[in-house]
Amino acid sequence: MTLIKSISGIRGTIGGKVEDNLTPIDAVKFAAAYGTWLKEQRNKENYRVVVGRDARISGEMIQNLVMNTLVGLGINVIDLGLSTTPTVEIAVPLEHADGGIILTASHNPKQWNALKLLNNKGEFLNGVEGKKILEIAESSDMTFAEVDDLGKITKNEAYIDIHIDEILDLPLVNKSAIEDANFKVVVDGVNSTGGIAIPLLLERLGVEAVKLYCDPTGHFPHNPEPLKEHLGDLANAVVKNHADFGIVVDPDVDRLAFMDEKGEMFGEEYTLVACADYVLSKTPGNTVSNMSSTRALSDVTKKHGGSYEASAVGEVNVVELMKKNNAIIGGEGNGGIIYPASHYGRDALVGVALFLSLLAEKKMAVSELRASYPNYFMSKKKIQLTPGLDVDGILKTMEFNYSHEKLTTIDGVKIDFANSWVHLRKSNTEPIIRIYTEAPSQNEADTLADRFIAEIKAIANI
């Protein structure tokens, strides 16, 4: 189960067997299916696709396979080289391209890579579009270009700077207040492209950046998911350098977490809460996050007179509901900020600029800022899936067992209790069941998660 085809793209481990892992043949097949789908969307002579990658060890190999497959279809490629997911998203409409591909497996360990697929707006494909591409891949119904009609590859490595320019032009980014605050920040770039982009942004904002793991080698110095248990070195560096706070991103820079001046986690769930608090204080409106995210966003939204809605997990689902509800900010509780004034995609660089603006205007320590928000605690646990495990059957049993509670079943099963909730769902990106809980204390959240893990194991006989 190490080749996963989902709404989040085509993701797998490098090496191994065709159709079991992300081999060169699989990379070519899915890139060809995407290019074929793209050409079916619009009847025109010239097609353009933007391609960029994070710093994974396999990235250059996969990118070359993908780009040359598109060339073989007669599609021109704009090669951004080392880039970030939000940078590619921004580049697609600026280049008047027909789509984009990002080579990244987000927070997964180094042996993973993936093709994340974008439409002509620089937004992720929806489920229907993704399904069509999978059908094309399975049918092998693809026609390649003749020799005189092959595409061309054009390099453009300026887009991280262009992305930063776009952020600095946002009206709510308070550049002068940030410069006056003389912040010192430690950046953990997990030896990927965040180590390039985040320090550049900070430099442009007049913030002193202390670099930690900012060499884009793809050799991740710790598990690349930005969770507390992986970030001991960042905590030590923040305290040692007397920094105002710490920043950590995932390898493709669409997830963002902060660490306060004491070396304590701000909480990745509260990245969106803080940025939304700032945006809503300037431009009141509605918010959206996914149903695995903290209730604190709803609380802050209501405080500013707006309404909050929850979507199914997955960026495309959040974006769809944001558009429907005219949300002015939204995202996912895993540190993903979606700010439509910039673009409809999770963007850690936008999140950093908004957070710095908030902090500069509030003139308070990061620990004080965190203490000003409603206090919820989350537990995020998982159960590894084994082949043959009937996940849908397990979730149906859970739904039946808790039918007397407030249930939401648009994405797995979410059970809302009076002072807590639990969300059980099959991951889009890994062969696991996720068990997320939230409660008024960490102990209660952990206990609730452990209880449901025990119940799932009892149902599944594992």
Nearest to 321 by CA among 334, 305, 340, 303: 340
Q: What are phi and psi of 5, to 5 degrees?
A: -110, 115
CA 447 from centroid of its chain's CA atoms:
28
Helix 85-94 vs helix 159-168: crossing angle, to nearest 10: 90
CB 35 within 8 A of CB 27: no
Nearest to 294 by CA among 282, 280, 277: 277
Nearest to 214 by CA among 186, 238, 240, 242: 186
Mark whether 106 is an active-site residue: yes
Report d(CA 7, CA 314) in Å as an integer. 7
Catalytic option among 106, 289, 292, 342: 106
CA 355 from centroid of its chain's CA atoms:
17
CB 238 within 8 A of CB 185: no
How many Cα atoms sit within 13 Å of 68 on the Cβ side? Answer: 10
User: Among all residues, which ones are annotated catalytic?
Assistant: 106
